Structure 1
């Protein structure tokens, strides 16, 4: 790493000698953590040239700092000492303490990826297998887009997103999901989370009532609640969201927005039934409730035909959110919002106040992958792979647990929802599981009120079949190691 140049601010009119000014500025930067122990300082000639002073002035400053214990000299280099003196008075602590009030915000139990631990197999909550991502094809497409796009690919762009990607997405949504849309009905976002956050900031304000599924998706709750809106949980059963409970809630409160995952409900994986879908749209229209539909893994449906989105029936009442993260990779941060033109224009104006736009070159590259058919071919390949993994995990759980756990093999998605026997606290087991070489997310992480103590969401897409069988064996070992199981309160 090249040594820093450190443009010290000097005051030639000060009574303090220049060498002491330099020494005090460097000591202050060490004290506040900008310069770390062992950091190499520039040579005296280099720093003298940068500051416009004589080299002897810099040498005198270095000598002063070394005498005080801030610096140490070795052959051909001057470094920040590993054994530092106390911080000078008036110098902020390393990385600083808050000098202002930080307003409190609701904090939900999240399931951010756990730090990677050597030897631990983590089921996850439904991530794709990044080992199978089409990285080479994406890299080639990106290089081609950057070269061909010139200034337009590397400069400012439309806040709605690159027009080529919006056209490609509109075609995909018309052909595969039944949406009546074109590029003017779409806005490209930083993943589905970015889409949810953008919609929340544009539509919601303090005190607005927002209905959410319980159990549900905590990152979306965070985005919605950050606007000051009040979140109200609505229960989920084997047919999806309980629309009767939503209707009763809407009779008592003015519900501004409903957030839901009707295709493969997160986390239980159930699909909203046809009758409830029709009932939900009637309630939304009658009560003027904006329906925020998160269709996060539409591509991965294995049994029968996938159910079309709510937005395919009524895009006037439904704001449709989707993502390419599950097909390609989460790190690309590419999602979208689909809705009527006035909504898209309002969201674009909202976006201009924040991050302005996304990455034109990346968006153009992904558009090329869609237009060339690579994305659809990759999705078909992943469907076969993930279906085999779904079946492998279900078989492994049945072999290890027998009838001690309840699980319904979902028609689609990237995870299983498992209910363990009475006496098993999945939250406690999840904390102990890494000692057995496995990780998983307990159901309580997705519960609005802290329920679902016996449940867990086990992702199967990111592990291969051999890894899934081994992870299941380790999971069951962790469950059997629980003290209440050893006492005979339940059987696994």
Structure 2
């Protein structure tokens, strides 16, 4: 602690008295911060009462041994915070009404340095088909975000549209119409926090207790949780090499007699197996939706990543728009941390979603949405999509080559190289997925067993997400897997 010389200060209604206080000798903060903290501390302790007058800046600077500019800046800061007040020709006094702020009055300790242990390598996860954030146009997004933040600060006068920024909805409407064959307008597009946000919001807005949702199995368990959170019950329909078993779906719909409200599918690259829904089953699904009056929730989470042939048009684009809610995500295109998705639905559904969003959180992320508009308009996202598609195809091919080259892996796994998507579905010819998971942890490798994609039971398979790993990283992962299966 560094103690000042005596400071004379005038109390309310009387002339100055002697007043001593100390500055913290803290080399990590400026002298201005030391002074502001010291004054606030004395005010909070009650030594400086409301209305008490401070000495002039020159006097205080001389007594504390600091530059007068430091004192002036500290006083201005405390006036801005409400601790002090200045009166013309009367000097500076402690404010009559002192501030209390849950944020401004909190002092947090300096952040602790964290990181992986020096003795152990970090875990490497291949549990899902995530994109590689290292490829994302982060610099462009950062600049666009800063410009959008300034724009919103200047122009926003209240909360935004619950459906999301109209500009991005317009851009996405044109995008899906041109690139995916839909025929929609801005008013039929609703922005969400990723595809999972779309599922959760739809469930809360459109489903309730007593409703039933059919879903693929193996399938995407987070979607099941969203439907169940809204009070609906999930019934599971098996898939095979051609996708959803529509013959079993028909039997289920007939048995439920009107209680089947929705069918959740991932028809382009089925999650987790990556198989595509066969054309005849696609048409049959739409016919069943018409016949039994249920909604098809089409989760098209990675449409951009199709490597061979022409990608299948969405169900929404093949005459099923009346009974299809189309869900897609920009998070898979950019990075998992960029939480932005959207859905395309009927006017009636959009109205319900608006009402639900307005109650839950009023609006989406307006600044991010406007930044994404800019990246679409200047072609950044389109260029990134082309580059990422080439990169991920090369990584898929590299992984296939490594799995084929290592005898232990070739003998242990069977799989079909998918035409698109960001993961392989590996089925074990021998051993159990749970044992492989345990062995992989010893190699600092995280694998999710096939049971993760089931409501119950075991499945001797796992999803190998390759997109987030460069070729040399994939080689090391395959080497680790080879050691695991050799045990």
TM-score, normalised via structure 2 length: 0.75
2:347 corresponds, among 316, 341, 345, to 341
1:361 corresponds, among 356, 359, 367, to 367
User: Aligned residue for 2:217?
Assistant: 214
Contact 2:411–2:429 at 8 Å: present in 1 too?
Answer: no
User: Aligned residue for 2:429?
Assistant: 421
User: Aligned residue for 1:480?
Assistant: 486
TM-score, normalised via structure 1 length: 0.74
Q: Does residue 124 of the first structure (1) align with residue 127 of the second (2)?
A: yes
User: Aligned residue for 2:96?
Assistant: none
Q: Describe the superposition over 1:326-363 as per-residue Cα deviations: whole angstroms up to 9, x where unpaired.
A: 11112121000101122112101111010111121210
What secondary structure does 1:330 align onto? Answer: coil
1:118 offset after TM fit, Å? 3.0
Supply the distance in 1 between the matched residues of 2:376 and 2:313 (Cα, whole angstroms). 20
Contact 1:325–1:334 at 8 Å: present in 2 too?
Answer: yes
Q: Describe the superposition over 1:451-480 as per-residue Cα deviations: whole angstroms up to 9, x where unpaired.
A: 31x101000000001111110110121122
Supply the distance in 1 between the matched residues of 2:193 and 2:156 (Cα, whole angstroms). 17
User: Aligned residue for 1:431?
Assistant: 438
Supply the distance in 2 between the matched residues of 1:45 and 1:360 (Cα, whole angstroms). 40
The structure with the larger Rg is 2
What's the C-alpha RMSD, in Å, of the aligned pairs?
A: 2.1
Supply the distance in 2 between the matched residues of 1:461 and 1:284 (Cα, whole angstroms). 34
User: Aligned residue for 2:199?
Assistant: 196
Q: Does residue 141 of the first structure (1) align with residue 144 of the second (2)?
A: yes
Change (3 A) 1:55 1:152: closer
Change (3 A) 1:160 1:50: same
Contact 2:326–2:345 at 8 Å: present in 1 too?
Answer: yes
Supply the distance in 1 between the matched residues of 2:157 and 2:432 (Cα, whole angstroms). 51
Supply the distance in 1 between the matched residues of 2:48 and 2:372 (Cα, whole angstroms). 54
Supply the distance in 2 between the matched residues of 1:203 and 1:359 (Cα, whole angstroms). 22
Equivalent residue runs for 1:104-183 within 5 Å: 118-152=121-155, 155-183=158-186
Q: Does residue 402 of the first structure (1) align with residue 410 of the second (2)?
A: yes
1:192 offset after TM fit, Å? 0.5
1:428 offset after TM fit, Å? 2.6
| Contiguous gaps of at least 5 residues in structure 1 | 1-41, 57-114, 482-492
Equivalent residue runs for 1:76-115 within 5 Å: none
Equivalent residue runs for 1:2-401 within 5 Å: 46-50=40-44, 53-54=46-47, 118-152=121-155, 155-253=158-256, 254-313=259-318, 314-400=320-406, 401=409
1:201 offset after TM fit, Å? 0.6
1:120 offset after TM fit, Å? 3.1
User: Aligned residue for 2:58?
Assistant: none
1:191 offset after TM fit, Å? 0.6
1:297 offset after TM fit, Å? 0.3
Supply the distance in 2 between the matched residues of 1:163 and 1:48 (Cα, whole angstroms). 51
Q: Describe the superposition over 1:366-404 as per-residue Cα deviations: whole angstroms up to 9, x where unpaired.
A: 011112211111001000000000111111112222243
What secondary structure does 1:332 align onto? Answer: coil
User: Aligned residue for 2:419?
Assistant: 411
Contact 2:215–2:234 at 8 Å: present in 1 too?
Answer: yes
Change (3 A) 1:175 1:342: same
